[in-house]
Structure 1
Amino acid sequence: MNSTVDIHFSLENLNAVFKTSPKHPDRLISREGNRLEFKEKFGFSSLSKYAKTMAAFSNAQGGYIVFGIKDSPHKMIGIDEEYFNRIDPEKLTQGLNDIFSPEIDWEMHVHEFQGKTFGLIYVCESGNKPIVAKKNFGEIRESEIYYRYRGRSEKVKYPELMHILDERRKQEQQRWMSHLERIARIGVENVGVLDINTGKVTGPCGSLIIDESMLNDMSFIKEGQFVQKDGTPATKVVGNVQPVASGSILPVRKVYKTKTRGIRSDDIIRCFLNQETVDNPIEYVKQICWESSSNLPVYYYIHLSGIPLAKVIYELEEIRTRSPSQNRLIKRLNSPKDYTLRIPNAETRAAERKRDFRKRVLKRHIKPSTLPQDPVEARYLIQSIQTLKQQELNVGYVMNLLKAFYQSYFTDRNNNLAGNIRAAICHIDTILYLDRIAMNGGN
């Protein structure tokens, strides 16, 4: 899979696809539009519908088809990952090629989110528009060109068709100018023309014949169509090429399946409390930039990543998001925030309760299964954890306490303890891992 496709399935782009409702976390508030369409399930019996949508995306700006989403409301039900993985990309590609020309460029992807699996097809914007139907197939009609309009795949209208044709003329002019400039630099007498469809070379300087056995160790590159995978070397040939077996160099396009896992604040907190060694820890740091609060554990993931802090900050600055959490997180990393609370010495009841809870935490007398039911008392206990110093910390015990608090109180809007729980988690993250990230190769 190439780097362009990696961008399409980056968490930044998938966050925009999987926007959930605050009131109904199992529903998406993302709307079907010019670049997004939802389907409940995949089946080859519906190929004509998928093909029409994919052609429309390809003729417009590209887009995603997401499988595993019900229609009205967009409830996330997921798909059978095994079934989706059994889909043969070559069969789908052949089906598309039988219906449309030129070829539609697309990729498959599996995304895990909120414990469910979703299948995605990303269709790239074509560099060789228009994509035209070659025959009647289902709801598709021969010679028709489809385009994406506000959540619908329809027959192209005059303004969009003229735009496509104008852009094509401009591209051809640019290609001609580029070729003529190269010919002028090299000299007409030194130039040959390679027909990449037949492998035949014509020119004034004769031919270069390559033995067929050598072709197995060579990769010929056609700009915009070939995919480099696993470091396969490409051979640059200077001169005129006449292969013995012309079919050996015909381009073969492959579709690779990839997989990602969706990350949200719940994942960031739970994985920290469980001290999980996650894959791609830097993605957990980046995800904070899209969350409603930047008060989430961050130093643990930077430590796991092994990336220097300065480079982490640079990568965060490159993220495009409207959320204020991005700037708050960068500010926090540039000037570490102290979440520590002082041990109260007043004679008030609140101060006495906090001191008492602190002593009981240090002696491990509070069981995670018997947390205070009174929200006020629970807040005092959480705040007492913020008074702990690194040398006083029993990591396993305190993590279990915070897990119990998170599971029991975090999502309960009646007690307003979410902010206190986040602050206590950030305090433990800071005292355990802030000093360790200095070992990531510098600040």
Structure 2
Amino acid sequence: MTDDEIALAKAMLRRGMKNDVIHFFFNKPKRLISSGRITQIKQSKYGASVEEATQAALDEFLQNWEAQADSRSTPRTAVEQTHLRSMFHEQAGAWILSAGETDHTECKRAFRLNPEVRFADVIRSIAGLANNNGGYIFFGVVNQTFSVEGLSDENFAKTDPAEINRTLASSLDPIPRISKTAIELGGKSIGIIHVEKHAHAPIMALKNIGNDLKEGTIYYRYVGETRAIKPGELRQIIADREQKAVAEFSTRMRRVATGVDATLNLDTGEVNGKSGTFVIDKSLLSNIQFIREGDFSETKGAPALRLIGDVEPVKAVERHRAQVIRDNVTADAVIRNFLEGERVADPMQYIHFQAHAQRRWLPIWYYIRAAGCSVDEIVDDLRRQVATHPASRDAVVQRLLRKSTAQKEHLGKPSKIMAAILDGSVVPPTDEIADVLFANAVQGLPSNYRKAAALRPHLLASLNRAQGNNGKSSNRRSAIYRAACRLDELLYSHRSS
């Protein structure tokens, strides 16, 4: 490093900037410096005689740096080929990763997704990058010399990103977002995984895999290594989350203060907004289920409240059934909310879940109606999902496009039960054998059947009896789930467009 750079580094240290951040400003493609050099400067073991730069000089340096950075072309995406190639330079006939291993780049010599233990160190690296500021994992690059060796097989090229996502979903929570691509340098292929910084860090390991991944551990990407997070970085993640929460709260309060949003006093029932005030009768306050969205407008000088969504009182006996957003939607929650007719606070969660569930038959039309979206919007949304189980996601899409249906006619006893149902003679099932026969009968109901809602309690009772861990209970649940999907089609598919 030059004396001027050492002087600036000392000024950065005085300002409290971290070593890896300082290293970033002075590490260059044509002149790589060790990250330990900054530590040596800090300890007066390197450049001790150089006088520290003034804070004004440091400000000027940083401003010039930002101006130069802004003038460079910004990649449209993190995996843009030109941007990725610019991270390497050629030296003596070999290609080198210019910055080496940093807190946002890591090198792996080979790629192997299976067996899982061979991929554990990559899972750890992905978690570490997502918990920091995101970054890249390069496969086919030697991690000691940062030279491009290239991948020796086609495992990386042939691996579906969905397979990687499924592995991450079973190993980390929350699930990191990744992108996969490849480039060629000097005739050698490099695999690249880009990891996004996670908006809801920290990400934690869910299980043990070999010696590389330990259950309950939060990993963090430091310069040149991924390891269990230190207290300082964990405090920073927590502080960032708190800062976001405070910023969101402040934004909401500003909207209330300026009259963009209204406030409801739950004690008096008074609603105050920019355009006016009105009062909700106290007898209704405890019964208001939800207001999805509202805004104030003024027509011909008269204040008015336009409500978008449903506002309705509920009976006292049903209040305990009010649902909240579930952090972890389950297949059981999807079917039970449908069979019980429960309102859910965020129906899109229940729709998205079906792209990540192994179970194929789950009610969908009920939640589309609750979401207030068109079928085309939902189909496009599902197709954009990085599905943990693509086959399940694709099966849902086929149902929404009406190319597939839960309807399935069974011969024998189910056929006779279905005929009785159509005649209005519904005999509720009361045991395991009757549960399956009844569910199979419901699956065959024709599209003109109009009393499907009355059958939901009977399927719910069957579901409650099928909670064992054995194969028979699993088969009963499969029949019940498909029957519920048939009721879902009969009740709600014709109401969605």
Q: Same fold (TM over 0.5)?
A: no
TM range (shorter): 0.3 to 0.5
TM-score, normalised relative to structure 1: 0.42
Give the structure, 1 or 2, with the largest relative contact order (CA under 8 Å, sep 6 or more): 1
